[in-house]
Amino acid sequence: MALIVQKYGGTSVGSIERIEAVADKVKSWRDKGHDVVVVVSAMSGETNRLVALAKAIQDTPVPRELDVLLSTGEQVSIALLSMALNKRRCPARSYTGHQVHIRTDNMHNKARILDIDNKRIRHDLDQGRVVVVAGFQGMDEEGNITTLGRGGSDTTAVALAAALKAEECQIYTDVDGVYTTDPRVVPEARRLERITFEEMLEMASLGSKVLQIRSVEFAGKYNVPLRVLSSFEEGEGTLISYEEEGMEEALISGIAFNRDEAKLTIVGVPDQPGVASKILSPIGKANIEVDMIIQNVGVDGTTDFTFTVHRNDYDKALSILEQIKQELGAREVSGDNKIVKISLVGVGMRSHAGIAGTMFEALANEGINIRMISTSEIKISVVVDEKYLELGVRALHSAFGLENKS
């Protein structure tokens, strides 16, 4: 008997049949004696339909009014799911973000949750009802409708779980958990039973699209255990929580990778204070996000400076660097947009030496040349030629024994 918050995304409620299936699942938790709060997204396709209506009027619709419009998508879902639950003699009530006072700042289209008044939800739970809450939306201090931006329903679920001190926040999606790596690349990839928030953040930001980064951060901040499960299959999914006593200490949790990288190098810049900012400021001003940054120890009073960007930004970044080259009197600008990044992620790294050595050796054994290296406390990333992506990921997966339950 616990309080569980569940979140079902747009695909999970994409049709009447799917909504009925979600109702079955919710009811099965209720029947086990749990209190259940459900957060739902708009039916898949609905948000796009609404955006198209708005764009038919204005290319850039007024943000406040766009939120009024988009928030109807989730409102339709909560009503239909509540009907499906009531039909199953599972008493349920739906609420918009406005009605349960999900208070946000006033940044329309990308608002952040400030707090939630859970009185009303508590009351309904006490009456034995399932509470169905519209994801992705809230209201600002003046009562204007706000939305949290795409994927915001995950954040709604985590915020509710935190406010209600729920035992667990379950995110139902179309995959059955978090894997050691992408199973399309490594067929032996294995579902993780547990992973820490920090590892999940590294996995997510490195391209594993299972959860929204913001919701993982949020869950970590408020220490809400998150569980990723499949809407369509039975299973335990993957639990994301803090490290616990007795938690199996995996050396490495998984291997993330990112195909859309490009790297740029400016060679022979004067090795003086302020050079890095002279290079990166114009890049930032052009709205280009920089990922890895590496600067080697200088020789002869000059140094080389390398960074990676999204592949779409490669040409723009290159032409900016050419200008900077003139200004700084650098020797050369070079780049490569046929590279990928592969990262080992694991909190076990903290206490185990030799991980990097094993990694580099595994890659070398396959004849894969490492172009860049960057490390953090729980992650080692390398940049290699694009053609080596699959080979590299498989080599590492095997070298660290990820296919076996560690």
In the annotated binding site, the residues are 7-10, 47, 74, 173-174, 179, 184, 209-210
Q: Which of 3, 21, 51, 79 binds its own copies (CB under 8 A)?
A: 79
Q: How far is the CB of 84 from its own copies (least distance, A)?
A: 5
Nearest distance in Å: CB 264, its own copies: 40
> Please, what is the Cα angle at 226 between 221 and 230, to 5 degrees?
150
Shortest Å distance, C-beta 10 to its own copies: 15
Report the distance separating Cα 399 and Cα 290, nearest Å: 30
- State phi, psi for 346 to the nearest 5 degrees: 180, 130
Chain positions 112 to 131 lying near its own copies, rule: CB under 8 A, are: 120
Question: Six-digit token pair at 140?
Answer: 């600002």
* Residue 69 makes contact with its own copies by CB under 8 A: yes
Q: Which is nearer to its own copies, 69 or 256 (CB)?
A: 69
Within 8 A by CB and 6+ apart from 387, the residues are: 338
Q: Of the two residues 110 and 120, which places its CB atom closer to its own copies in the complex?
A: 120
Interacting residues of 144 by C-beta distance below 8 A, sequence separation 6+: 64, 67, 106, 108
Between 84 and 252, name the residue whose CB sits nearer to its own copies.
Answer: 84
Residue list for the binding site for ATP: 7-10, 173-174, 179, 184, 209-210
Among 13, 22, 78, 102, binds its own copies (CB under 8 A): 78
Footprint of its own copies on 36-65 (CB under 8 A): 50, 53-54, 56-58, 61-62, 64-65
Binding site members for substrate: 47, 74
Q: Does 98 bind its own copies (CB under 8 A)?
A: yes
Tell me how far CA of residue 242 lies from CA of 136, 163, 202, 255, 375, in angstroms.
26, 18, 14, 19, 21
Strands 130-134 and 92-95: parallel
| Cβ 186 vs Cβ 394: under 8 Å | yes
Min. distance of Cβ 387 from its own copies in angstroms?
A: 47
To its own copies, the closest distance from the beta carbon of 101 in angstroms equals: 10
Is residue 364 close enough to count as binding its own copies by CB under 8 A? Answer: no
Residues 152 and 146 sit within 8 Å (Cβ to Cβ): no
Q: Which is nearer to its own copies, 83 or 318 (CB)?
A: 83
Site for its own copies in 184-203 (CB under 8 A): none
Residue 347 has what DSSP assignment? G
Q: How far is the CB of 45 from its own copies (least distance, A)?
A: 13
Shorter beta-carbon distance to its own copies: residue 102 or 380: 102
Enumerate the β-bridge partners of residue 147.
Answer: 137
Matching residue, tokens 């369509």: 232
Quick one: 22 or 163, whose CB is closer to its own copies? 22
120-136 b/e (C-beta count within 10 Å ≥ 16 → b): ebeebbeeebbbbbbbb
Min CB(284)–its own copies separation in Å: 31
Which amino acid is it at 240?
I
Measuring CA to CA, which residue among 41, 290, 26 is closest to residue 152?
A: 41
Smaller CB separation from its own copies, 40 or 206? 40
Among 99, 109, 358, 375, binds its own copies (CB under 8 A): 99
- Tell me if residue 344 falls in helix, strand or coil: strand
In this complex, which beta carbon is closest to its own copies, that of residue 144 or of residue 205?
Answer: 144
Please give the residues from 128 up to 147 whose contact with its own copies meets the rule CB under 8 A: 143-145
What one-character-per-residue DSSP string does 59-100 give? SS--HHHHHHHHHHHHHHHHHHHHHHHHHTT--EEEE-TTTT
Residue with Cβ nearer its own copies (117 or 249)? 117
Among 4, 5, 13, 19, binds its own copies (CB under 8 A): 19
Please report, in angstroms and rounded to a whole number, the separation of the first and last CA atoms in the chain.
31
Q: What residues line the site for its own copies (CB under 8 A)?
A: 16, 19-20, 50, 53-54, 56-58, 61-62, 64-66, 68-69, 71-72, 75-76, 78-80, 82-84, 86-87, 93-94, 96, 98-99, 120, 143-145
